[in-house]
Amino acid sequence: MVDRKLYYTHNINPRVAVAVARHLASPVEFIRYEPMGADRDAFLALNPNSLAPLLVEDGKPRWEADSIALRLSRLAGGDFWPDAHAEDIQMWVSWSAHHFTVAGAGLVWHNFTALSWMGPPDPVVVAGIEQDFHRFAAILDQTLAGRPWLVGNRLTYADFRVASALPFAEPGRIPLEGYRNIVAWHDRLNAIDAWRDPFAGID
């Protein structure tokens, strides 16, 4: 039997990995840790980035939420990242990583995460990030018009990945007003227990 552990924090990318594992009922042990704090030195050999998430299978480490999601999807049979739509899913994963989620995560960082030690954010910086967010949110909102999910009319990892900053929309002051298709789509995601509260029962 494979010894499989998923190390996580409560930040955006680890949240996605945990949500995937919970949704797929993946055979993993969940362990919360501090990769940039108390656990840093102990885990540098497994993840030199000192970040989460981290999947370790019989001692072999795998970093990065998207790689972990693909691995867990393959273990579950691939329906969450189906081969028939692999290229389309990868397109949205890349778009999220370079555009939509970059903007959303930037707002979360400046408006919420960094407040305790950096103080109020620079309004000029935040305004620029908001401009980027609106640019990409308009694309996503138009894409979601008339379809429930991003790829193949079914829930896939593309939905989890692109929505990854949205659970932090309120504290991060992500401006979702006017994007009714995005809001409705995320409401559908929030109907899924693993997405709505991935850390329930494992902390």
Per-residue pLDDT reduced to its tens digit, 137-168: 999 999 999 899 999 999 999 999 999 999 99
Instruction: State residue 123's pLDDT score.
Output: 87
Instruction: State residue 65's pLDDT score.
Output: 98
- Contact by Cβ (8 Å): 89, 74: no
Domain ranges of the chain: 4-80, 83-195
Percent helix, percent strand, percent coil in the chain, to nearest 5: 55, 10, 35
Q: Is 78 a residue whose pLDDT tops 90?
A: no
Instruction: State residue 23's pLDDT score.
Output: 98
Instruction: State residue 121's pLDDT score.
Output: 79
Instruction: State residue 118's pLDDT score.
Output: 81
Q: Give the fold, CATH level 3, of 83-195.
A: Glutathione S-transferase Yfyf (Class Pi); Chain A, domain 2 (1.20.1050)
Q: Is 25 a residue whose pLDDT tops 90?
A: yes
Q: What's the DSSP call for residue 30?
A: E
Instruction: State residue 45's pLDDT score.
Output: 95
- CA 94, 53, 188, 172 dihedral sign is negative
Amino acid making up residue 77: G
Q: CATH code for 4-80?
A: 3.40.30.10
Cα 30–Cα 32–Cα 35 angle in degrees, nearest 5:
125
